[in-house]
Amino acid sequence: MIQDLHSHTYYSFCGKDTPESIVEAAIAGGIEVFGISDHNYGIGYSRIDAFNLPDSESIHGTYERTLRRYFDHINLIKEKYRGQIEVKRGIEICTLHDGVSFKVHSLPEKEDVSFFDYCLVENLDSSISVTKGDLFAYAKRLGTPLVGIAHTDMFAFIRSRGEDPLEYFSRMAADNIFWEMNVSYDSIHNYRIHRYMVDFFDDEEKQDVVRRSGVRVSVGFDGHRVEDYLPERIKEYNDKLTALGIKKPFES
Ligand SMILES: [Zn+2]
Ligand SMILES: [Zn+2]
C-alpha cells in the first residue's frame, strides 16, 4: 500500500494549490493512501485579521470555525475521490511556544483536533517546544487515533533524553505514534532533504531497532507546490520500508 501522509495545500500560508489538484497528482502518480496535512496556524488563522490580532475578542471562535471548514473540505474530497485513492484528513501541528515571535504558531491550548484522522507534530526537539519533550502526554492531548512525528531525528532526540531507543520506539508503537520521515524536495523550504532520513536508510542497526520495536514509519513528500511532487520518490521509499519489514501507519 503506497502511502504519502505529508502534503500542503492553500490552507497553509506556505502552500498554494487546491486540495483537489494535489490529490489528482497523487492519483496520477499511483499513490494509494494520501494524507493532507496543512499547518494548524495556516488553517486556524486563515483570516488575515485573525493572524494579526490573535487575542482580539472580535475574532473569538475563528480558529475553531476555520479548523472545521478545512476538515469539511478535506472530507468532501475524501468522498469525491473514493475508489481512486484513500484520502486521510490530517493536520500538521507546530509546537513552538507562544512567545512573542511565535505567538500564533502553536495550537491554542483548548483547541480540539481529535476529529482528524491523524496529526503530524513538528518541532518536538526544539528547546521552545510546548511539548517540553514529553511526546506521550502531547499525543494524548491531541487525541487523534494516530500521531506522527515529523521533521525530527528521533534517534538523536531519544539519545538527548538519555532513553533507550528500543524502549522508546516500543512505547511509541503502543501509543499509536509513528515516525514520519519526509523525503521532500520542495521549492518552498529550499529543497531541503533531511540528513537523518538518508542516514536511517543507510544504517542497518537503526533499521533493526525500529523493526523490532514495531513502531510504524511513513515516508511523505511534504509537498507545497504540486509541480514539485515526485510520486516516484514516494514509491521508492515505500518499497524500501516494505523490504525492511517496517510497517506503515495505515497498514493493517
Ligand atoms: Zn510549510
Ligand atoms: Zn509539512
Helix (H, G, I), strand (E, B) or coil at 144: coil
- Residue 128: burial class (beta carbons within 10 Å; 0-12, 13-18, 19+): middle
CB contact at 8 A, 86 and 23: no
CA of 123 to the centre of ligand 2 (A): 11
CA of 160 to the centre of ligand 2 (A): 24
pLDDT of residue 98: 67
Nearest ligand to the CA atom of 181: 2
Mean pLDDT to the nearest integer, 23-42: 96
CA of 38 to the centre of ligand 2 (A): 7
Higher-confidence residue: 13 or 49? 13
pLDDT of residue 103: 61
pLDDT of residue 31: 98
Joined grid coordinates for residue 48: 488575515
Mean pLDDT to the nearest integer, 37-58: 78
Check pLDDT > 70 for residue 110.
yes
Check pLDDT > 80 for residue 205.
yes
Rounded to 5 degrees, φ, ψ at 211 are -60, -45
Check pLDDT > 90 for residue 89.
yes
| Pairing, β 33-39 against β 177-182 | unpaired
What pLDDT, in 10s, does the model give residues 171-184?
Answer: 999 999 999 998 88
- Binned at pLDDT 50, 70 and 90, residue 118 comes out as very high
Consecutive H or E run containing 119: strand 118-122
Quickly name the fold that domain 3-244 has. TIM Barrel (3.20.20)
Mean pLDDT to the nearest integer, 89-94: 97
CA of 230 to the centre of ligand 2 (A): 15
CA of 158 to the centre of ligand 1 (A): 25
Check pLDDT > 90 for residue 134.
yes
Nearest partner of 54 among 95, 105, 97, 96, judged by Cα: 105
Q: How many CB atoms lie within 10 A of CB 68?
A: 13
Residues with C-beta atoms within 5 A of ion ligand 1: 14
User: Rounded to an integer, what distance in angstroms lies between the CA atom of residue 93 and that of residue 127?
Assistant: 16
- Binned at pLDDT 50, 70 and 90, residue 97 comes out as confident
Joined grid coordinates for residue 240: 524500501
CA of 109 to the centre of ligand 1 (A): 22
User: Rounded to an integer, what distance in angstroms lies between the CA atom of residue 228 and that of residue 191?
Assistant: 9
- Binned at pLDDT 50, 70 and 90, residue 101 comes out as low
CA of 179 to the centre of ligand 2 (A): 13
pLDDT of residue 44: 80
What pLDDT, in 10s, does the model give residues 53-85?
Answer: 767 776 667 788 889 999 999 999 999 999 999
Nearest ligand to the CA atom of 121: 2
Joined grid coordinates for residue 252: 493493517
Joined grid coordinates for residue 61: 471562535
CA of 203 to the centre of ligand 2 (A): 25
CA of 88 to the centre of ligand 2 (A): 15
Nearest ligand to the CA atom of 93: 2
Q: Whole-number mean pLDDT of the chain?
A: 91
CA of 51 to the centre of ligand 2 (A): 19
- Binned at pLDDT 50, 70 and 90, residue 109 comes out as confident
CA of 222 to the centre of ligand 2 (A): 5
CA of 166 to the centre of ligand 1 (A): 31
CA of 106 to the centre of ligand 1 (A): 14
